[in-house]
Amino acid sequence: MTKRQLFLMSSSALHGYEYLQHAEQDLTRFLQANKVKQVVFVPYALTDQKAYTQRVATVLERWGFGCVGLDATVDPVRAVQEAQAIYIGGGNTFLLLRTLYEKQLVTAIRERVLEHGVPYIGSSAGTNVATCSIQTTNDMPIVYPPSFDALGLVPFNINPHYLEPEEGSKHRGETRDQRIAQFHELNDAPVLGLREGASLLVEGNRATLVGTFPVRLFRKDTGAPTEHEPGTDLSFLL
Amino acid sequence: MTKRQLFLMSSSALHGYEYLQHAEQDLTRFLQANKVKQVVFVPYALTDQKAYTQRVATVLERWGFGCVGLDATVDPVRAVQEAQAIYIGGGNTFLLLRTLYEKQLVTAIRERVLEHGVPYIGSSAGTNVATCSIQTTNDMPIVYPPSFDALGLVPFNINPHYLEPEEGSKHRGETRDQRIAQFHELNDAPVLGLREGASLLVEGNRATLVGTFPVRLFRKDTGAPTEHEPGTDLSFLL
């Protein structure tokens, strides 16, 4: 049985809230429950890594947790192996995954989280890379990663920043639902559409939706997607 | 000097118009000017290729042109080599580019268009693959292509279905402009944001914006993007 402890956020920002503020209560509880005092932050999804770490550290420190960024270390694999908790932030999913492969962190992180139970926090791109693959990201492919396969901490995909087609929109580009349907024409993994403000808490083999927004679940060949309310047990996906 | 003749549409659909109708006049003129009677259609960006070819053929035939799809041929390279004109339709850009590589069509099409002056029509994903790379597509990476490098018929990138950030939007995912700025943090190619309804006509070394919508041009390290009206000569990009 896997020891994984995951807190997967759709986004770090939510309309009407300060940076990360919408998740303060649930994330604080998650870190405290896992006796985490210091978080290792992975700022690879943005190019200005130092500023990014600073931004996240400011919030975490206000909440009472220490935070060091991988930008400040010469040996990121070792930093991950010694981490009390790992937090991968959002930005560009392709840049993030390419960098994780370049720095030999894909296997290192997967091992720490699945085999040693090191708590993992992701937001946006950091949530994408926690799943089977980055194939349901919304980002532009600004760099070419060696694979779309990701950390595989859960056996399904997530679409962060999920939003429904706007009613009456005159835009003719594909809607999010159409893009996910195209994914399912060629892939099998279920896709959890996480609206901004929603997060998925995974404790071992139990998955629960936290936050105040419902989630939309897309499965191959099952017709219409299904809506699930906060508090719903989503363990059947694991 | 290159003989290229390109008609690159942002999209096949435009609010308030039938399928392809918004481009009827300019596209008909383009095909007639190049003495094209029959178009070879590339339906690889969607999975139901036969239905896709049928949809496009119905429109082209109504306009007076023949149309055969690569789905109906056992030797697509030969079909491309014998084509009077090549039209690559939209759908998923990753699926499209992977299939073009699989079927050895990247070099074959580039050669026909650049060296032999075979007219090329693209819409959406078909416009993305005509440029340097697919790195400014809006699509989900539903399959892994062997490279993001595309046909390279023009020395810049295009973002089809370009649209500006909606005023007052509560969505916190990256705007299109932010995504293109991230592209430019790591890549040099200019990016032409083609709004739905806009098309780029390229005749040899002359490029002109056609349609009724302005285009937005993003260049690395030049500050704000610039707007260019229909009819503008954009040859400086070539």
pLDDT for the residue numbered B165: 76
Question: Does the annotation count B161 as an active-site position?
Answer: yes
Q: pLDDT for B83-101, tens place per residue?
A: 999 999 999 999 999 999 9
Label residue B1 by pLDDT band (50, 70, 90): low
> In the annotation, is B139 catalytic?
yes
- Give chain B positions within 8 Å (CB) of A91: 182
Radius of gyration of chain A (CA): 17
Read off the amino acid at residue A1. Answer: M
Given B11, B123, B124, B199, the catalytic residue: B124
pLDDT of residue B226: 96
Across the interface, of A142, A160, A172, the residue whose CB is closest to B186 is A142
B116 is catalytic: no
**Chain A residues within 8 Å of chain B (Cβ atoms):** 11, 13-16, 47, 91-92, 94-95, 124, 134-144, 147-148, 160-161, 163, 170-174, 179-180, 182-183, 185-187, 196
pLDDT at B156 over 70: yes
Q: What is the mean pLDDT of chain A?
A: 95
Catalytic residue among A22, A123, A133, A161, which? A161
Residue A7 C-alpha, separation from nearest chain B C-alpha, in angstroms = 19
User: Chain A closest CA to B53's CA: distance in Å?
Assistant: 18
- Whether B171 sits inside 8 A of A196 (CB atoms) is yes
Hey, of A97, A131, A142, which one would you mutate to test binding to chain B, going by the most B CBs within 10 A of its CB? A142
Q: Does domain B5-237 have CATH number 1.10.260.40?
A: no
Catalytic residue among B10, B139, B184, B199: B139
pLDDT tens across A191-237, in order? 999 999 999 999 999 999 999 899 999 999 888 999 999 989 999 99
What residues of A are in contact with residue B163 (Cβ under 8 Å)?
Answer: 171, 173
Digit-coded pLDDT (tens) for B215-225 = 999 999 888 99
Residues of chain A contacting B11 with CB distance shorter than 8 Å: 172-173
Question: Could you tell me which of B188, B202, B119, B176 has the C-alpha nearest to residue A138?
Answer: B176
> On the CB side of A238, how many CA atoms lie within 13 Å of its CA?
19
- Residue A116 tokens read as 């040693």
- Model confidence over A139-189: pLDDT tens digits? 999 999 999 999 999 999 999 999 987 777 888 888 999 999 999 999 999
Structure tokens at A15: 């309309």
For chain B, the domains span 5-237
Picking from B11, B134, B182, the nearest residue to A172 by CB comes out as: B11
d(CA B237, CA B223): 17
Query: With 90 as the cut, is the pLDDT of residue B195 above it?
Result: yes
Q: What's the pTM value of the predicted model, to 2 decimals?
A: 0.96
Q: What is the DSSP string of A69-96?
A: EGGG-S-HHHHHHT-S-EEE--S-HHHH
Average pLDDT over residues A115-123: 97
Backbone angles phi, psi at A211, to 5 degrees: 105, -165
A-chain CB neighbours of B43 within 8 Å are none
- In this complex, do A140 and B138 lie within 8 Å of one another by their Cβ atoms? yes
Q: Where are the alpha helices (DSSP H) in chain B?
A: 24-33, 49-62, 76-81, 93-102, 105-116, 125-128, 176-186
Please give the distance of CA B213 from its chain centroid, rounded to a whole number: 16
DSSP A13: -
Burial class (CB in 10 A: 0-12, 13-18, 19+), A112: buried
Asked if B134's CB is within 8 angstroms of A172's CB, the reply is no
ipTM: 0.95
- Looking at chain B, which residue has its C-alpha nearest residue A141? B135
Query: What is the pLDDT at residue A168?
Result: 77
In this complex, the residue of B91, B136, B185 whose CB is nearest that of residue A47 is B185
Among B91, B135, B170, the residue with its CB nearest the CB of A140 is B135
The pLDDT, as a whole number, for residue A71 is 97
pLDDT digits (tens, 9 = 90+) for B2-54: 789 999 999 998 888 899 999 999 999 999 999 999 999 999 999 999 999 99
